Amino acid sequence: MTNPFKKHSSGLFANHGSNIDQAMTYSMSLIDTLHGNDKVAAMTAIMVLINSASSAFDEVPAAAPAGPSPERLALIDLIRGEIESWAENELEQKMTDWAQSELDLDAAVENWADSNLEDKIKDTLNDLEATVSFR
C-alpha cells in the first residue's frame, strides 16, 4: 500500500516523525496565535485532516503491508489439512452412525406413503391416457 500522505508532504516544513501527539500540540500552539475567523478556519482545516487520517488508518489492517507471517500460513495449512483428513476419514462414518441412531427411515417412508402415496397415484392416473384395442 502506498502512503496517501506522501504526495502532499513537503521538505520545506519540519515533521515530528510518527509522534502524532507532538505534531498536534505544535499545530494547536500555532492555531492559538490566531484570532476570530482565522482561528476557526485553521482549526476546521486541521480537524478535517486529522479525522480523514484517522479514518484512513482504521481502514488498513495492521498486517496488510506485510501480509500473514510464514508461521501463520503454515499453521493455516496444517489446520486445513487436519480438517480435510478428518472429513475424508471420519465424517461420512459419523453421519452414517448418527442417521442410523437418530432416524427411523422405515417409519419415515411409511409415514410419507400414508400421507402422500394415494394422492400421488391419483394424480398420476388422472394424467394417464390409455388406448385399448382388440383383434
In a domain, 133, yes or no: no
Q: Where are the beta strands (DSSP E) in 29-108?
A: none
Give pLDDT tens digits for 3-58.
Answer: 778 888 888 888 888 788 888 898 999 999 999 998 999 999 999 888 888 887 77
Give the pLDDT confidence score for residue 11 in this predicted structure.
82
Residues 102 and 76 in one domain: yes
Q: Which of 36, 59, 82 is the last residue of a domain?
A: 59
Give pLDDT tens digits for 48-83.
Answer: 888 888 887 777 666 455 666 777 778 888 888 888
Please give the residue range of the domain that contains residue 119: 70-126
pTM of the model: 0.42
Residues 55 and 88 in one domain: no
Grouping H, G, I as helix, E, B as strand and the rest as coil, residue 135 is coil
In a domain, 64, yes or no: no
In a domain, 24, yes or no: yes
Query: Based on the structure, what is the number of domains in the chain?
Result: 2
Residues 85 and 50 in one domain: no
Q: Which of 59, 82, 97 is the last residue of a domain?
A: 59
Residues 53 and 76 in one domain: no
Choose among 69, 45, 64, 44: nearest CA to 3: 64
Give the pLDDT confidence score for residue 64 in this predicted structure.
54
